[in-house]
Chain A
């Protein structure tokens, strides 16, 4: 059974600092890995999708890396802004379904 772990559970940084969010998974036989953002009272929004054959994916200030063999992914958010405050969830696709981590709740202080 796939287990997805995200550390830390919560993070508070001053505006402008770079964010580093970590995700680890136990079964490396994945098709892809996704990072989602969840705002309070709202659903999840997909931020980045990395295929198993890729090493990284970038979108604006976001960059996600994938090391499938070691079961790790890292989401980098450059020059954080208060609007980046949210919960970020990592999910891996294998066995025909997504398995999610519990998320990292980020607070960016103005």
Chain B
């Protein structure tokens, strides 16, 4: 079974530029998550999708971050414009249904450096 795929693996941009990350979850998983992991910290949930609807985006900085999950499959996370403090690893995860008993499966992440 293929895991969660993310691209690109690394991205370096200058502040005020735009960037987009892509995630393809495990086939059949209804729930998709985007996390931000700043160096030395644990992952923080940015947004959770159930199929193609948003379940939780309370910690997403909506003035600069946006995400979509078209057709309830793959997803894109965008930052526009980027700030220095956005430097982090962006992790995508998926789970079968999104409930408390689900295990989340994580991709390898995209490491973003904002200069």
Q: A residues within 8 Å of B by Cβ?
A: 4, 31-32, 34, 41-46, 49, 51, 89, 91, 93, 96-103
Contact = CB atoms under 8 A, between A and B. Distances in A.
Interface of B: 4, 40-45, 48, 55-56, 91, 93, 100-101, 103-109
A4 B42 contact: yes
Given A42-B108, A98-B45, 6 more contacts: A4-B42, A43-B93, A44-B91, A44-B104, A51-B101, A96-B55
Contacts, number: 48
A46 B105 CA distance: 8
A100 B44 contact: yes
Contacts of A42: 108-109
25 contacts: A4-B42, A31-B100, A32-B100, A34-B103, A42-B108, A43-B108, A43-B109, A44-B43, A44-B91, A44-B93, A44-B106, A45-B106, A46-B103, A46-B105, A51-B101, A89-B42, A93-B100, A96-B56, A97-B45, A98-B43, A100-B42, A100-B43, A101-B42, A102-B41, A103-B42
Q: Which of A45, A98, A103 has the most B CB atoms < 10 Å from its CB?
A: A98
Main secondary structure of the interface of A (DSSP, over half): strand
Contacts of B44: 100
A96 B101 CA distance: 11
